[in-house]
Structure 1
Amino acid sequence: MCELIYMVSESRLDTPIWYETEHVNYFVPEGTNCVYLQLPEVEVVSNIEKELFKALDSPLNSPPLKELVGTHYRRGDSIFILVDDNTRPNIHTRALLPLLEKKLTEYGVDKSDIKIMIATGTHTPPTSAQIKKSILKELYEEWKDRLWVHDCDDLPNHEHLGFSSVGTPILIDKRVLSGCIIIPLSDSEYHYFAGVAGSVKLFVPGVSGRKTVRVNHSRIFDMNTGFKPECRMGNIRNNISIQDIREIVQILMENHKKTVFVIDTIIHKDQFVNIFAGTPLDIHENGLKVLSKIRNITIKEKADLVIISKPSVNFYQAGKGMNAASFAVKQGGQIVLLAGCQEGIGPDDYLETMNRIKDLPLQEAMQWVIKNKCSETTFEIGIQNAVDLLRILQMTEGEVYVYSTLDPHLLQEPFRVKSLEIDKDPQEALRVFVDDFLTKKPGALVCVFEDYNILALASNEKKQ
């Protein structure tokens, strides 16, 4: 389990968080009733190459990769490596790609047959410049001629493989299906409605058609609670979205005889702490098992004020920070989020939807969005964040604050989110806010998250 840390420096508590690449600290007054939720120190992988090769030779519930190559590969066949797009850090991608290529060539695979597919899901396909800057960096020149980018709207490049048991149409990128072996290269992490990201999610939404994603994601909503209670961070049990995705991957393997070998990592404080390989469902469950040990914190009670940061290129991505904070804030409490959002809001549908319901009461607005924007035919990526934001605004009675590069009027008008004083540096802005908050609510409980990947579980609430 993670630790609760109480530390003091001068007249302010030692509660460091990040604003993008800037360390921000000493903003909570000494003597405050404050809990600092901190990720634990975990033994890191000392030799990444050795650990990877061990995983390839001793995978979970799968023959070793060498054996799969010997059975399924013939010169001229493609082996597709699925990698994350530019919305993810890709620490694991850059570290493992050269090592995996080295091993595959040792197994007899021609280098020209080893290809990358960037699993964009329904995100805008990245440009060559974005791929070089944010995904491959120094590896770009080596891979640029063996690199494909998924486009969920390029229908001729998708194959319809039937339906899942709950009726989700299975549309998968034909180029990936042409591979004799498919190797998702993932880093498992908690996901705010699918429970756990990584492994199976490199297929859906990763290399799926828009209709597959739209139908799958449209099932997560509840008219009263926003997301269905099971569709939450850290949970895959009875989670209709992720269970559907897991079944689709199983259908690919069993009904369509696709050979899938997942290589998965757990990145903790930018360091590798686990590298595993094997079959998709086993790897997905293993990711949850490992994450629950290093991400879950039990808190005695929910806080009056939660302060959290989420490094984010846009406000849409920053929503994951608000979602994590919502587990730790009490009804009527307040949330402060630090997120740069240098590229603006994010998906156009997110902004357009919030503009459409800006004058409706919060509960009515949330229900309008679910009814009109979240069906199998209308859902678009970004809309789920509108639902979750409206839920959180109801929980906090509209007391959500953001420190970012965004125009405060833009945040306030359609999103109903308030801004900290952006003319101050983040430390000073937080000091002013926290001091004012405690003046109005002396004795209030303040909770500061070191990292948005922490899952706070209140001890007085039964874990589902």
Structure 2
Amino acid sequence: MTDRICEFAYGRGTKTFAVPDEDVLAEVRTADFPVIENIPEAVLEAVRHPIGSPALEEIVKLGDTVAFICNDPTRVANSFDFMPVLVNELNRLGVPDANMKIVFALGTHREMTDDEIVAQVGADVAGRLKTYNSVSTRSEDFDYFGTTSRGTPVWINKELCNVDHVILTGTIVHHYFSGYGGGRKAILPGCAAMETVRVNHSFMLDEHAKLGVTDGNPCYEDQMEGVALFAKGRSLFLFNAVLNARHRFVGMFAGDYRAAHREACKFVDRVYGAVIPKAADLVIASCGGYPKDINVYQMQKTMENASCAVRDGGVVILLAECVEGSGSAVLEETFRRLKTPEAIKAELEKNFRIGANKAYAITRPIEKAHYILVTGLDKTLAHDMLFTAAVDTVPEALEIAKTYTGDHPSVILMPEGSLTVPRIEH
């Protein structure tokens, strides 16, 4: 019997371990698409030949004002690669630096530091353009645009409301309850007030709120309706990219925030979707390292993807450093107080709270399989969050897993777990 030696990303480093090669059903990776080598050329090609929209040079007039929306550090977007190109292109079209600004789409995440802003968009762009954090709890920073048919009050950051054009940027991956990231999410939830996010995210309790689904998905449809209320009479333009597991660009899409996003999502399915022969006894998954495993809040997305590959009652070993802990005091308090998946869901149905919703999201895959963390997370906290175990090394986790799977479980390896979405074709 020969061993397969595996090296999986963990934080800013790696963890190495071995599994019997004959036990491995599949190693799930992103599809091998050609990497975009000339990034400036590809960015300009996308914005000059957009999908469902006139080109930027037909939209933007001399002296117009522009607000860019950019991702925060919890998303790998490589904004530092494309933002200088976009800013220089707008300069060429007659928009001076003084007429442009960047609003960072924090959603309900913490405020970014100056160093993080520079790291996200590059020192040149950060030094040339004004930058703003969209902090969802600062109610005075938001304007009201009406209420969606599902009852979500639409409050959007004022910095997006006083410009001629809003350019939505970012990358697209699958999203565990609103279908896909990117597109409209730059605005809602990215630059929306806390109450807007809270009501919209409450629809995650609906059985139709699923990964990779847009039609009939109440979270996605509510976001689209909310952004449409804001967009009425405004100029919105999308630039979204798709990255491979090594954070290299493999696709760029620009144009109408609805049409271009739809085309990009089709590409995302091709890049990140992966067929497996059957559900495994044991799945070993890495989030893909920092920042995908920066905290439990972000790690949960990999839990959902791994759940697609494990059999009922099986085991998932999840490599996630969680250098920033849980990422949410509300998340921790919810688990410590309510203690069971049933109690968490029941309370959310009565009173939906951001942070508590992530507790529910964590319990969904845990109800299907045993989750063993290889992590730097506080072990007592991991126990409170209902994880089967939390250990420092993969060999320790494998020993615990054997108590549920036996000595030779079927194994699926997911080194790029935050990206890849396994499926069984019948």
So what's the TM-score if we normalise by structure 2? 0.93
Distance 1:140 1:110 in 2: 13
Shift of 1:407: 1.7
Shift of 1:33: 4.1
> 2:223 matched to which residue of 1?
245
> 1:182 matched to which residue of 2?
166
1:66 to 57, 62, 80: 57
Query: What is the percentage of aligned positions where both structures have the same residue?
Result: 25
User: Cα 1:436–1:392, aligned 2, differ >3 Å: closer, same or farther?
Assistant: closer
User: Cα 1:383–1:287, aligned 2, differ >3 Å: closer, same or farther?
Assistant: farther
Q: CA RMSD in A?
A: 2.0
> 1:264 matched to which residue of 2?
240
8 Å contact kept, 1:196–1:284 = no
Matched, 1:456 2:426: no
Q: Per-residue CA shift, 1:404-439, capped at 9, x if unaligned?
A: 111212211x212144532xxxxxx32343356458
8 Å contact kept, 1:305–1:446 = yes
> 1:425 matched to which residue of 2?
none
Shift of 1:185: 1.2
Q: Per-residue CA shift, 1:337-392, capped at 9, x if unaligned?
A: 1111111111111011011112x4x4x22433423442xxxx21x22221122222
Distance 1:289 1:141 in 2: 33
Distance 1:169 1:141 in 2: 32
1:202 to 178, 186, 203: 186
Aligned amino acid, residue 378 of structure 2: D
Distance 2:48 2:122 in 1: 28
Superposition map of 1:46-445 within 5 A: 46-70=37-61, 75=63, 77-91=64-78, 93-132=79-118, 134-139=119-124, 141-143=126-128, 146-222=130-206, 228=207, 230-253=208-231, 256-269=232-245, 270-310=247-287, 311=289, 312-358=293-339, 360=340, 362=341, 364-374=342-352, 379-380=353-354, 382-396=355-369, 399-412=370-383, 414-422=384-392, 429-434=393-398, 437-438=401-402, 441-445=406-410
Shift of 1:448: 0.8
Distance 1:383 1:182 in 2: 32
8 Å contact kept, 1:29–1:435 = no
8 Å contact kept, 2:81–2:121 = no
Shift of 1:137: 4.6
Distance 2:28 2:52 in 1: 36
Distance 1:137 1:53 in 2: 18
Shift of 1:102: 0.9
Aligned amino acid, residue 282 of structure 1: A
Aligned amino acid, residue 58 of structure 1: H
8 Å contact kept, 1:369–1:387 = no
**What secondary structure, in the 3-state scheme, does the structure 1 residue paired with 2:311 have?**
strand
Distance 1:354 1:317 in 2: 17
Distance 1:58 1:170 in 2: 31
1:17 to 8, 27, 31: 8
So what's the TM-score if we normalise by structure 1? 0.85
**What secondary structure, in the 3-state scheme, does the structure 1 residue paired with 2:146 have?**
strand
Distance 1:437 1:124 in 2: 35
**What secondary structure, in the 3-state scheme, does the structure 1 residue paired with 2:315 have?**
strand
8 Å contact kept, 2:168–2:239 = yes
Aligned amino acid, residue 259 of structure 2: D
Q: Unaligned stretches of 5+ in structure 1?
A: 1-9, 223-227, 423-428
**What secondary structure, in the 3-state scheme, does the structure 2 residue paired with 1:38 have?**
coil
8 Å contact kept, 1:117–1:149 = yes
Shift of 1:327: 0.9
Shift of 1:191: 1.0
**What secondary structure, in the 3-state scheme, does the structure 1 residue paired with 2:32 have?**
coil
Aligned amino acid, residue 401 of structure 1: I
**What secondary structure, in the 3-state scheme, does the structure 1 residue paired with 2:325 have?**
coil
Shift of 1:305: 0.9
Shift of 1:173: 1.2
Q: Unaligned stretches of 5+ in structure 2?
A: none
